[in-house]
């Protein structure tokens, strides 16, 4: 299966899913809580995921799928080709703001990220790319951002981590040029790809970061859990991605305050 066909297929499915989501905004949502009142899922999250999984199974029936909703949220291994899907990243924003949310799809092969797609639905902007392909906004190839230190740029961050100063997040934020909170991992990763932010600190699940990792690697960003070891691709974990200089400084501060 060629990379070109995968890209064409995924772009088509993202457009189909985004059209469905936008058309749903005029309808009444069915909103449920998962782990608490700020951890939401809607019928549109679930229906969007079902649409994407149906397309994958129709075209790539032998592949594995890891996705946020409806029993697809764990895998025993990343062997073979694995699709990692977040049907609506930033569900709270989707419900409360009707903007600042993304669809994210990653394709991994034998544990290695091959393709990543982050689609800002309401802006109709698709950031995508892959291993040795580069990173694109639509058809325009993006330029690798500058490698800046912590004090030289803005830092995306999880609001709860900053507010409660978890793992010294507040002190790290104060050492940067400023903290920005969007409530959507996809939006934060886009800001890094554009060179607007030097890094992102949060508490994420695999579908929140998988697509972004493929694209960040193309721009030589560094990423890990906050202990500096490899991400588990299982459950939620504290996540750090940053420009190499900023990453080293942030990681040193994490370790200093352990």
Percent of the chain with pLDDT over 70: 97
Beta strands in 2-80 (DSSP E): 31-36, 39-42, 64-67
What's domain 150-256's architecture?
A: 3-Layer(aba) Sandwich (3.40)
Residue 1's pLDDT is 59
63 annotated as ligand-binding: no
pLDDT at 154 over 90: yes
Topology, domain 3-141: Fructose-1,6-Bisphosphatase; Chain A, domain 1 (3.30.540)
Convert the pLDDT of each residue in 247-256 to its tens digit. Answer: 999 999 887 7
188 annotated as ligand-binding: no
Cα–Cα distance between 39 and 127 in angstroms, integer?
A: 26
SS3 105: strand
Residue 9's pLDDT is 97
Residue 24's pLDDT is 87
Q: Which helix (H) or strand (E) holds 47?
A: helix 43-59
Cα–Cα distance between 86 and 129 in angstroms, integer?
A: 17
Range(s) for CATH 3.30.540.10 in the chain? 3-141
SS3 5: helix
Cα–Cα distance between 83 and 12 in angstroms, integer?
A: 16
Determine the average pLDDT of the residues in 166-185. Answer: 96
88 annotated as ligand-binding: yes
Model pTM?
Answer: 0.95
pLDDT at 237 over 80: yes
Range(s) for CATH 3.40.190.80 in the chain? 150-256
pLDDT at 15 over 80: yes
Residue 141's pLDDT is 97
**Residue among 126, 125, 87, 85 nearest 107 (CA):** 85
Convert the pLDDT of each residue in 48-94 to its tens digit. Answer: 999 999 999 999 999 999 998 778 888 988 999 999 999 999 988 98
139 annotated as ligand-binding: no
Chain length of the chain: 258
Cα–Cα distance between 206 and 146 in angstroms, integer?
A: 26
Cα–Cα distance between 48 and 20 in angstroms, integer?
A: 8
Percent of the chain with pLDDT over 90: 79
């Amino acid at each position: 299966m060629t990379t070109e066909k995968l890209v064409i297929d995924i772009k088509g499915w993202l457009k189909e899913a985004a059209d469905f989501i936008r058309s749903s905004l005029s309808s009444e949502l069915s909103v449920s809580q998962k782990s608490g009142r700020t951890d939401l899922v809607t019928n549109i999250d679930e229906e969007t995921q079902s649409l994407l999984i149906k397309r994958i199974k129709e075209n790539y029936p032998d592949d594995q799928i890891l996705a946020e909703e409806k029993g697809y949220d764990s895998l025993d291994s990343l062997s073979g080709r694995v699709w990692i899907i977040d049907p609506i990243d930033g569900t709270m924003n989707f419900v409360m703001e009707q903007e600042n949310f993304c669809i994210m799809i990653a394709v991994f092969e034998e544990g290695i990220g091959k393709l990543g797609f982050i689609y800002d639905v309401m802006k109709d902007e698709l950031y995508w790319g892959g291993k040795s392909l580069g990173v694109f906004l639509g058809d325009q190839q993006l330029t690798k951002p500058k490698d800046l230190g912590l004090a030289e740029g803005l830092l995306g961050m999880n609001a709860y981590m900053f507010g409660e100063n978890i793992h010294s997040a507040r002190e790290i934020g104060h050492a940067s040029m400023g903290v920005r909170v969007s409530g959507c991992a996809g939006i934060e990763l886009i800001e890094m790809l554009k060179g607007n932010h030097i890094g992102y600190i949060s508490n994420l699940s695999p579908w929140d970061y998988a697509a972004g990792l493929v694209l960040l690697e193309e721009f030589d960003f560094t990423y890990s859990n906050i202990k500096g070891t490899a991400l588990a691709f299982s459950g939620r974990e504290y996540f750090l991605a940053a420009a190499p200089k900023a990453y080293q400084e942030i990681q040193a501060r994490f370790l200093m305050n352990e």
